Amino acid sequence: MIGKLLIANRGEIAVRIIRTCGELGVASVAVHSEPDAAARHVRLADESVALGGVSPAESYLDIDKIISAAKETGAEAVHPGYGFLAENADFAQAVLDAGLIWVGPPPKAIDVMGEKVAAREVAHRAQVPGVPGSDGAIGSADEVTAFGEEYGYPVAIKASYGGGGRGMRTVPDAGHAQSAFDAARTEATAAFGRGDVYLERYLSHARHVEVQVFADQHGNVVWLGDRDCSVQRRHQKLVEEAPAPGLSDALRQAMGEASVRLAREVDYVGAGTVEYLVEAADERFYFLEMNTRIQVEHPVTEATLGVDLIAEQLRVASGEPLSFTGSGVAPRGHAIEVRINAENVANGLFLPAPGPLGTVHRPDRAGVRWDSGYDSGDEVAPHYDSMVGKLIAWAPTRTHAISRMQKALEELTITGVPTTAPAAQAVLAQPDFAAAAINTNWLERDIDLPALLPPAGDSVAGSGDLLPDDEPAARDEVWVGERRYVIPFFGAASVPYAAVGDGAVKAAPRRTTTTGGGRRKGKRTSAAGSGQVTSPMQGTVADVNVAEGQSVTTGEVLLIVEAMKMQNPIRAAIDGVVSTLSVKVGDVVASGDDLALITPADGQ
């Protein structure tokens, strides 16, 4: 067994790995950026190394710094967790070249399966069914329209390098081909450093089901059950469960065997997840991608199989054979996982909301597990992923697991920042979810989630500078954890607004800031103002699509602000001319900062 392990990650997954190290007698080494100097994973590890820097590029993505940290501390192996460098073949090779053990698959397997077009070719060789798609990366919007004419709309444009919905756009018809192609390439370049994109037929009513595979260095490859991850918003998973409900034994077996064939085709070693789009009614499944790492939702598989997948990773990396006797181990009961992110879900917008945490209190009941990278008093930094933790509930049946999770969510206490917990509660209460009548578009297309969430005003909390009691708060603003969020309000007194994501958010009219007793203050604006575009969150300007003097129309994307690994388009809410552009690509903006000013077309 490995004696000392460096964890090249942070947050929840770093804590998760450190805990298993402690049980196995493996010394743990944490690495950290400047903002994470006092983070929970640093406090729990046996040793820690400061990487310096603030951004991921300066710290958790710096391969040379991480290799140096491993050598300095005498670590024998490196575990990448998930995210950051976990699926970076160059990093895996650098670890091996340094004479260290890489806790993951061979670099070649990472490289091939990480490039989506190449992965589709591997799936074809392994006789794994795939969704109709383009033969390699595409170079123009004309190829999008040609594909749509042949296979029908909608069409999905996807990043060849990457995942998590980033660099993905859905094209409803030929008229949207150019804008979707440009947006997908821009986002893919910003997220993954490469703008290559490819096409797939878009399955609008399919479920997202994945299969856990494991392979050792002795030629053994097994599949260990499946998970359903269909409840998503903006292509990001919110609720996951195992086993995937409502699938026939024959369909499970077919997906499992296909996953093993795929893993064998690339000489896979370690933990991996093969993702599929499933049309359960027709007993059909289509290869989506393979994640060459431990998956975020691995705890539901652990709960239903009674295993520690991190421990199995370390054993396999140490050269030991798999501890599993074969594929398709029968699951015990049912498990559900809810991702708890620091996001403001009011009106269904899921706006990133970093900030200091007050109280973090986990539920204390049978069958409930809380995996988190934070304790009370820690801070969710804006530079990294928004996940605070994962709540997992296990029970003998799915119905019981749903009920147990609902109670656990009621008991989970997190103060200081808004979280996605209310959205998860709303999902679990839906009859469709209870009946497993869900698909990847269900949450955004079939459910009126904004109507199911608490009113925006219920989230107002915290302390700080105040406004006089006699000055009414803007009806489109809410303050959470000392941060300002702009929420849509459609009424007779509506004013021009800017849009965030795929929804519309009113830009706060300019108003003079004052101090005194009463309520919170912040950047406020005058109701007489019009066309002022402000940032609804703290983030980095990832793209600027307009210039001063340019005419714009309602709904046109002006800028893209990236916050906590999520890209948020800012759209024009009125026709007019960009009279002022206050930011450029790379600028860091705070919530409420001016981005642009649009002079209305009618001059009013």
SS (H, E, C) 55-100: CHHHCCCCHHHHHHHHHHHCCCEEECCCCCCCCCHHHHHHHHHCCC
Lowest mean pLDDT among 6-20, 185-199, 395-409: 185-199
Q: Greater confidence, 225 or 193?
A: 225
pLDDT at position 459, please?
41
Flag whether pLDDT at 376 surpasses 60. yes
Distance CA 196, CA 180 (A): 13
Amino acid letter, residue 439: N
Give domain 132-201's CATH architecture.
2-Layer Sandwich (3.30)
The two structure tokens encoding residue 93: 């090779």
Q: Phi/psi of residue 488, each to 5°?
A: -65, 135
Phi, psi of 427 (to 5 degrees): -65, -50
Place of tokens 């300066």: 58
The residue among 563 and 83 whose pLDDT is bigger is: 83
3-state secondary structure of 415: coil
Distance CA(433)–CA(84), nearest Å, equals 32
Residue type, 372: S
Provide the strand spans (E) within 368-465.
368-372, 379-380, 387-395, 413-414
The confidence band for 491, taking pLDDT boundaries of 50, 70 and 90, is very low
Helix (H) or strand (E) holding 225, with range, is strand 221-233
pLDDT at 365: 93
Bridge partner residues of 237 (DSSP): 232
Reported as type and span, the H/E element at residue 426 is: helix 421-428
250 CB-near residues (< 8 Å, 6+ apart):
283
Residue carrying structure tokens 């260990």? 224
Q: CA separation (Å) from 278 to 92, 204, 289?
A: 32, 11, 13
Peptide bond into 431 cis (omega under 30): no
Q: Strand pairing of 101-102 and 77-79?
A: parallel
∠ Cα 401 403 404 (to 5°): 65
Q: Is 352 exposed, middle or buried (0-12, 13-18, 19+ CB in 10 A)?
A: buried
CATH topology of domain 333-429: D-amino Acid Aminotransferase; Chain A, domain 1 (3.30.470)
Structure confidence at residue 116 as a pLDDT band (50, 70, 90) = confident
CA separation for the pair 227, 443 (Å, rounded): 18
Residues 6+ positions from 43 with CB-CB distance below 8 Å: none
The predicted pLDDT at position 565 comes to: 59
Q: What angle do CA 587, 343, 474 make, to 5 degrees?
A: 80
pLDDT of res. 467: 31
pLDDT (tens digit per residue) in 205-228 = 899 999 999 999 999 999 999 999
Integer CA distances (angstroms), 236 to 161, 203, 231, 284, in order: 17, 17, 8, 23
Q: Which residue has the higher pLDDT, 571 or 462?
A: 571
pLDDT tens-digit series, residues 327-374: 988 999 999 999 999 999 988 888 888 999 999 999 999 999 999 999
User: Nearest-CA neighbor of 139 among 114, 117, 165?
Assistant: 117
Give the model confidence (pLDDT) of 16-52 as tens digits.
Answer: 999 999 999 999 999 999 999 999 999 999 999 999 9
- What span, in angstroms and rounded, lies between the C-alpha atoms of 432 and 435? 5
| Predicted confidence (pLDDT) at residue 525 exceeds the cutoff of 50 | no
| CATH fold match for the domains 206-331 and 333-429 | yes
Q: Provide long-range contacts, Cβ within 8 A and 24+ apart, for 90-95.
A: 90/63, 91/8, 91/63, 91/66, 94/63, 94/67, 95/67, 95/70
Percent of the chain with pLDDT over 90: 63
Q: Which strand (E) or helix (H) includes residue 188? A: helix 177-192
Token code pair at residue 160: 């060849």
Residue 246 has pLDDT above 90, yes or no: yes
Mean pLDDT across the chain:
85
Cα–Cα distance for residue pair 351/481, rounded to 1 Å:
13
C-alpha angle 518-520-526 in degrees, rounded to nearest 5 = 100
Q: What confidence category does residue 428 fall into, taking pLDDT thresholds of 50, 70 and 90? A: very high
CB 324 within 8 A of CB 214: yes
Strands 503-505 and 498-500: antiparallel
Q: Thinking of the domain 4-103, which architecture would CATH place it in?
A: 3-Layer(aba) Sandwich (3.40)
Q: Which residue has the higher pLDDT, 520 or 274?
A: 274
**Statement: residue 66 has pLDDT above 60:** yes
* Two structure tokens written together for 5: 């392990």
Confidence band, pLDDT 50/70/90 cuts, at residue 136? confident
Structure tokens at 175: 């008229």
Please state the rounded mean pLDDT for residues 148-164. Answer: 86
Give residue 382's pLDDT band: very low, low, confident or very high (50, 70, 90): confident
pLDDT of residue 396: 98
CATH second-level architecture of 206-331? 2-Layer Sandwich (3.30)
Give the CA radius of gyration of the chain. Answer: 24
More confident residue, 471 or 49: 49
Q: Is the pLDDT of residue 83 over 50?
A: yes
11-25, 143-157, 305-319, 573-587: which range is least confident on average? 573-587
Class of 464-600 in CATH: mainly beta
pLDDT at 205: 86
Phi, psi of 237 (to 5 degrees): -70, 140
Q: Is the pTM of this model over 0.85?
A: no
Looking at residue 587, its pLDDT comes to 82
Take residue 249 and report the two structure tokens written for it: 């034994």
Q: Where are the domains of the chain?
A: 4-103, 132-201, 206-331, 333-429, 464-600
* Encoded tokens for 48: 């820690």
Q: What is the pLDDT of residue 203?
A: 83
Distance CA 272, CA 116 (A): 15
Least Cα distance to 426 among 238, 227, 234 occurs for 238
Q: Which candidate, 551, 574, 593, places its Cα nearest to that of 497?
A: 574
Phi then psi for 314, rounded to 5 degrees? -70, -35
What percent of the chain is helix, strand and coil (3-state, nearest 5)?
A: 30, 30, 40
Q: For the residues 500-521, what does the mean pLDDT come to?
A: 31
* CA 579 from centroid of its chain's CA atoms: 35
- How would you class 217 by CB atoms within 10 Å of its CB: exposed for 0-12, middle for 13-18, buried for 19 or more? middle
pLDDT of amino acid 194: 87
- Report the C-alpha gap between 554 and 552 in whole angstroms: 7
Question: In the predicted model, what is the mean pLDDT of residues 375-381?
Answer: 95
Write the burial class of residue 161 (CB in 10 Å: 0-12 exposed, 13-18 middle, 19+ buried): buried
**Lowest-pLDDT range of 157-171, 439-453, 559-573:** 559-573
